[in-house]
């Protein structure tokens, strides 16, 4: 295996140092390391971060290989600086058995661009009526620890309580897509003055917040772990903050797009901006940024949701919700959090790598950039600027909300256990 010497990189944005990667590990760190026998990567001006970990990715395989596959999705992940992604179970068939989660896990190993850690469905067929065999998925080769019916809320309070209790047996966590279904029937965008003007049915903040509050109370009651997917409102942030203050095991993620974009984009009626939960107001964006900075929201998760073109060229209500995220996430985090002074690079590493790995109980990722640790490393140039061209993304789909927009920062190289998955900005 090739040894790599990452010359003069800035680990977590600190003073320049060299990192030597060998046999899948970081073997040495420090200034002026001997390059003998190693391929040298000039890291001048590049920030080194632990490989990013995404708690919320839709890889679409099996079932919708026209939109994304494990291979194309993990290539996109690598291009975005990720070394591990958690694959959501809303595939066809749903990942609700040991067989399906093992299939997804194996496809990830074969693709080799990033580790794929399957998330198991909470209920059979994600239908919200009977618990799936959570224990079988936990005991499978995929070692599932995160369970979610993402896309659908586990709205039944008893079922949610049982799931929370049951996963304690294997240190699992239930990741909830918090959406009260009756309050959001036919919902198209954030419910606000704007939805009234546009004549699009509203998705009220309370439909998220009511479920976040209920789940926090349940998690506190049964002393289990709940993780709130894609928190999108200022009110949810307040509830998570309150639950954490109680000492309950409540964690939360925010998507890059909820840190960057607002409901105003719906004025175009272009379904590129249709996503679930919907884009909210500038006040919500502000609260989410603050919450990510102060740790109330634990981590960034992309909710990378590829859709083939015809699902986005439709009229708004007929179009599928969701947007790509993997390849623009770090740039979005830089613009929303770093360039605004809310987080330093150590904070970014914590929120995009260490915390998500810890929440998902994923070993070997989100580790410090220190000798002896797995060589999962991303090199990032924060001074670069790029204009997002959907045609040049590694994802099989094109539904990025940033098309034509200039973003800061570029992923220059990604290493997965010492092997480059991206070099000079391109997947290898």
Partner 1 sequence: MKRHLLSAGDLSRDDVTLVLDTAAELAKVASRPVKKLPTLRGRTAVNLFFEDSTRTRTSFEVAAKRLSADVINFSAKGSSVAKGESLKDTALTLEAMGADAVIVRHQASGTPLRLTNWIGGSVINAGDGTHEHPTQALLDAYTMRERLGRLEGLRVVIVGDVLHSRVARSNVLLLATAGAEVTLVGPPTLLPVGVEAWPSATSYDLDAVLPKCDVVMMLRVQQERMNAAFFPSAREYSRRYGLDARRMASLPEHAIVMHPGPMNRGMEIAAEVADSMRSTVTEQVANGVSVRMAVLYLLLGGAEPAIGAEPEAEEVVA
8 A C-beta contact, residue 107 and residue 134: no
Crossing angle for the helix pair 157-166 and 205-222, to the nearest 10 degrees: 40
354, containing H or E segment: none
Phi/psi at 419 (5° precision): -100, 130
Distances (CA, A) of 358 to 31, 173, 303: 30, 11, 18
CB atoms within 10 A of CB 242: 14
CA angle 37, 39, 41 (to 5 degrees): 145
Structure tokens at 151: 């896309």
195 binds partner 1 (CB under 8 A): yes
Nearest approach, Cβ of residue 61 and partner 1 (Å)? 20
Q: Which two tokens stand for residue 341?
A: 């002074």
Binding range to partner 1, per CB under 8 A, among 48-56, 152-160, 309-317, 364-372: 309-317
Q: Which is nearer to partner 1, 204 or 368 (CB)?
A: 204
**Lookup: tokens for 171:** 């240190």
Residues 228 and 178 sit within 8 Å (Cβ to Cβ): yes
Contact between 264 and partner 1 by CB under 8 A: the answer reads yes
318, 341, 391, 424: residue in contact with partner 1 (rule CB under 8 A): 318
Question: Using the rule CB under 8 A, is 267 a contact of partner 1?
Answer: yes
DSSP 8-class letter at 85: E
Q: Which two tokens stand for residue 18?
A: 């060299």
The dihedral through the CA atoms of 138, 143, 149, 153 has a sign that is: positive
Considering only the stretches 52-60, 79-87, 158-166, 265-273, report the one whose residues sit in contact with partner 1 under the rule CB under 8 A.
Answer: 265-273
Stretch that binds partner 1, among 33-41, 191-199, 243-251, 416-424 (CB under 8 A): 191-199
Among 134, 319, 324, 354, binds partner 1 (CB under 8 A): 319
Binding mask 86-125 for partner 1 (x = CB under 8 A): ----------------------------------------
Q: Which residue has the tokens 């198991």?
A: 120
Pick one of 30, 99, 125, 196: the residue that binds partner 1 (CB under 8 A): 196
Contact between 418 and 375 (Cβ < 8 Å):
yes
- Binding partner 1 (rule: CB under 8 A), the pick from 147, 203, 311, 380 is 311
Using the rule CB under 8 A, give the single segment among 4-12, 49-57, 184-192, 378-386 that binds partner 1: 184-192
* Torsion sign across C-alpha atoms 42, 43, 44, 46: positive
Query: Which C-beta is closer to partner 1: that of 29 or that of 195?
Result: 195
Q: What angle do CA 247, 251, 255 make, to 5 degrees?
A: 155
Does position 202 bind partner 1 by CB under 8 A? yes
Q: Does 315 bind partner 1 (CB under 8 A)?
A: yes
Q: Which residues are catalytic?
A: 303
Question: Binding residue for partner 1 (CB under 8 A) from 35, 183, 265, 346?
Answer: 265
**181 counts as binding partner 1 under rule CB under 8 A:** no
Q: Which is nearer to partner 1, 39 or 92 (CB)?
A: 92
Among 170, 242, 269, 386, binds partner 1 (CB under 8 A): 269
Q: Does 270 contact partner 1 by CB under 8 A?
A: yes
Residues contributing to the site for partner 1 (CB under 8 A): 188, 191-202, 204, 264-265, 267-270, 310-311, 313-320, 404
């Amino acid at each position: 295996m090739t040894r790599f010497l990452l010359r003069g990189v800035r680990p977590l944005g600190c003073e320049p140092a060299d990192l030597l990667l060998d046999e899948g590990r970081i073997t040495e760190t420090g200034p002026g390391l001997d390059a003998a026998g190693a391929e040298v990567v000039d890291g001048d001006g590049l920030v080194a971060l632990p490989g990013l970990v995404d708690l919320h990715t839709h890889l679409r395989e099996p079932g919708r290989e026209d939109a994304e596959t494990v291979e194309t999705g993990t290539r996109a992940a690598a291009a975005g600086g990720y070394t591990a992604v958690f694959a959501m179970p809303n595939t066809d068939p749903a990942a609700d058995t040991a067989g399906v989660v093992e299939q997804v896990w194996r496809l990830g190993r074969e693709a080799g661009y990033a580790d794929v850690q399957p998330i198991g469905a909470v209920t059979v067929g994600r239908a919200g009526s009977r618990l799936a065999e959570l224990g079988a998925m936990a005991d499978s080769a995929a070692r599932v620890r995160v369970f979610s019916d993402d896309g659908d809320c586990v709205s039944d309070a008893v079922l949610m309580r049982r799931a929370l209790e049951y996963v304690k047996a294997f240190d699992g966590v239930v990741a909830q897509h918090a959406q009260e279904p009756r309050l959001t029937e036919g919902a198209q965008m954030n419910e606000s003055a704007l939805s009234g003007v546009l004549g699009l049915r509203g998705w009220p903040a309370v439909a998220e917040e009511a479920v976040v509050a209920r789940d926090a109370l349940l998690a506190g009651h049964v002393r289990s772990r709940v993780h709130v997917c894609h928190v999108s409102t200022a009110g949810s942030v307040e509830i998570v903050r309150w639950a954490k203050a109680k000492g309950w095991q409540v964690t939360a993620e925010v998507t890059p797009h909820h840190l960057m974009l607002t409901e105003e984009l719906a004025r175009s009626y272009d379904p590129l901006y249709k996503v679930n939960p919907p884009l909210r107001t500038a006040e919500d964006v502000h609260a989410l940024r603050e919450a990510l900075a102060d740790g109330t929201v634990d981590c960034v998760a992309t909710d990378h949701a590829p859709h083939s073109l015809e699902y986005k060229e439709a009229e708004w209500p007929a179009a599928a919700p969701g947007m790509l995220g993997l390849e623009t996430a770090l740039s979005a985090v830089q613009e929303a959090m770093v360039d605004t002074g809310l987080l330093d690079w150590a904070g970014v590493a914590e929120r995009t790598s260490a915390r998500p790995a810890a929440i998902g109980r994923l070993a070997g990722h989100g580790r410090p950039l220190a000798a002896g640790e797995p060589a999962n490393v991303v090199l990032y140039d924060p001074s670069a600027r790029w204009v997002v061209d959907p045609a040049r993304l590694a994802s099989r789909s094109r539904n990025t909300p940033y098309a034509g927009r200039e973003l800061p920062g570029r992923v220059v190289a990604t290493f997965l256990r010492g092997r480059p998955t991206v070099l000079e900005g391109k997947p290898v």
